[in-house]
Amino acid sequence: MINTNKKHTQVSMQEENAHKPNIRRNGITAVTGLVMGIARIYTRGNININPDPVDEARLPDEKKKFQQARKTVGMTMERLSDFADSRNDSDTRDIMNAQYEILNDPELETMVYQLIDQKSVRTEKAIYDAFQHYIDLIKSADKSFLVSRLSDLRDMRDRLIHNVQQLAVIASFGKDAVMVSEDVSPIEVITFARNGVKGIICTAGGLTSHASIIANAMGIPMIIGAKSVLRTVQDGDTIILDGYGQNVIVRPDDETSSSYTRVIKRQKEEDKFLRHVIEKPPETLCGTRIELQANIDFEDEVLNINKYRAEGIGLLRTDTLLMNAGPLTMDRSRQEEFCQTAYSGSGSGMVTVRLLDVGGDKLLNIKSKEANPFLGWRGVRILLDRRELLQSQLEAICRVAGRYPGRTRILVPMISNLDEFLEVKKELADMQGTLDKRGVPVDRKVKLGIMVEVPSVALQIRQFAPHVDFFSIGTNDLTQYTLAVDRGNNLIASLYQPLHPAVLTFISMTVQAGEEFDIPVAVCGELASDPFAALVLAGLGIRELSMTPRLIPKVKQAVRLHDLEEIKAISKKVMSCNTRSERETIRAEWREAYELKLKEERSKIIAL
C-alpha cells in the first residue's frame, strides 16, 4: 500500500527546494576549479521508442534510416575529433577513435538489421535493443574497467536514436553555462568545451571515466557524485561549482554570491601576480635552489612544462595508457610515442618515467576481487608476475632513452623489499643488452630508482641505498600505509594527515640516507604542490619537488620569499607537534605572516 502522506511530504520538500536559496550539495572533485554561472539542466532528450511493428514493405527504409543516422553521427564525431586535434590532445582523439569503432562495428550493424528483419521493429527500437544487449553483457561481466564504457555506449545509442527521430542533442548553452546532468560522455564534454561551458556537475560519474579525463584536458572544472543536485536545481538558476571545497551551491544568496565573486576576483589577480614569478629561479632568499618539476599524465600536459618553467618531468605516469588499451595490454609503440612526446617537450630536463602503477581493483581484468586491493596485487607485483608487460615498458623506455642520452630515470612503484627491485634491475640490463645486439642505440646511463611509499622500505632505506640511483617519495601512499588510513574514505578523511610526524620521520630518514650515499631524493606526491608543505619538505632536506605544472608558480613564490633558516624552523616546529590542531595552528600562523610577505611583494611589482 502506498503511503500517500510520505509521498506528499517528499513532493513538498522538492517544491520547497526548488525555490530555497543557498542549497549546498557535496560531491567529489574530478577537475579542480571554482566557477559561478547559470545552471543548464542537460539531458539527452526523451527517447520515445514505439514498440509497434512496421509493415514488411517498410523494412528496407528502416535500414536506410540506420545507415543515414550512422553517417550523420560519424560526421559529427569527425568534427569533434578535429577540434581535439586542434588542441594537440591525443588522449581525447584516442577516446574518439574508440567510440568511432563502436559506431562502425559490423556486429552492431548485423544485430540491428536482424532485429528489423526478424521482428519488424522500427529503427530506433532495433538500435535500442542492440545496444542494450551489449550494456547487459558488460553489467553481468562485473568488470570494473568495463563499467566506464557504459556511458560511451549509452551516448552512442542515444545519439543514433535522436538522429533517427530528428532530435537536437546539444544546443548552444551560452558562455556562462554550468552543465548539470546525471552523467556526460566524452563527446559531450568536447562539445561543451567548444561552446565555452564553464563547468560540469554530475550526479554520477567516475574519476577515471573518459569524460573526467577529457574535462581535465580541456580545463573544465568538474564535480561528480553530487547525488541530489538534480532534485534541487532548476534550469536557469545561478549556481556555484566549488572544486576546492568539493561542493555545489544552488541559488546562492547575495552575501554568498558576493563572497565567491571576491574569491574569484582574487584568484584572477593572483594568477596575474604569479605570472611575474614564472621566469624567476626557484631559489630561497639565501640562494638555496629547490628544483620544481612536473607531474605528467597525458600528452596534452607536456605543453605546460615550458609554460610554467618546470625543470624536467619528475613523474611521467604510464598508467593512463592502460585505460584505452584494455586489461593488462599496453601497445609498445604507443608507450614509445608517449615517451617521445614527453622528452621532446621537456627541453633538456630529466624525465622520470614511472612504470605501471595500478591496483587489482581498478583497471585490471582479474577473475576475483581482492579484499584489500591497496595491499594486494599492484605496482611492481603485477609487473613481476606479468613479465611481458614489464619487458614491453622497459623496451619502449629504453628505445626513447637511446635518443636522449643522460636524461632518463626509471621509477619502480610499490617496492616493499629489495628482491623486487633487483629483479627489475636485471630485466633492465637484459633489455639493454637485447637492444644493443639489435643495433638499437642504448643509453647505459639510465638511472633506476624506487618509490618510497611503503614503511618497510623507509625503515630499511640504507639497505636499498647501495643498489638504487635515486629515491622518489610518494607521499600519498606513504601517508596511507603509515597511518593505516584509506585516503579515499570520507569517513576517516580527518585521519589522513600527510604532515603527521610519523610520515615526516620516514621522509627525513630517506633524506639522510640520500645524503649519506649521495643519492638524489625527490617528492612527487600531492604534498609537494602545497606551498606550506613544500617548505616543510625543503626544511627536511628535500631539493626536488614534482607537481601538476600549473601549481608550480605558487610553490615557487613560497620558496622565493623564505630563507633556508626560516624553512628549517618551520619544519622543526611541525615535526615537534603531537596533534593535528597544533599543526594547523602553525600553518595558520605561517599563512598570516606569508600574506604580509605576499602583500609586500605585490606592492614591489606594482611599483615597477
- The residues annotated with a catalytic role in the active site are 210, 524
Alpha-carbon dihedral sign for residues 56, 57, 59, 65: negative
Residue in the structure block whose three cell numbers are 611589482: 605
166 phi and psi, to 5 degrees? 55, 45
If phi > 0 it is left, if psi is from -120 to 50 it is alpha, else beta; for residue 125 that is alpha
53 contacts: CB under 8 Å, gap ≥ 6: 119, 120, 121
How far, rounded to the nearest angstrom, does the alpha carbon of residue 517 sit from its chain's CA centroid?
Answer: 35
Secondary structure (3-state) at 499: coil
Alpha-carbon dihedral sign for residues 181, 182, 184, 188: negative
DSSP for 233-299? --TT-EEEEETTTTEEEES--HHHHHHHHHHHHHHHHHHHHHHHHHTS--B-TT--B-EEEEEE-SG
Cell numbers standing for residue 562: 623564505
How far apart CA 575 and CA 520 sit, in angstroms, is: 22
How far apart CA 210 and CA 207 sit, in angstroms, is: 9
Nearest CA to 312 out of 527, 89, 153, 549 is that of: 549
How far, rounded to the nearest angstrom, does the alpha carbon of residue 395 sit from its chain's CA centroid?
Answer: 26
447 phi and psi, to 5 degrees? -90, 140
**Do 388 and 400 contact (CB within 8 A), yes or no?**
no
472 phi and psi, to 5 degrees? -130, 120
What angle in degrees, to the nearest 10, is found between the helix axes of 90-103 and 186-194? Answer: 130
DSSP for 381-449? HHHHHSHHHHHHHHHHHHHHHHHSTT-EEEEE-S--SHHHHHHHHHHHHHHHHHHHHTT----TT-EEE
Neighbours of 40 (CB within 10 A): 21
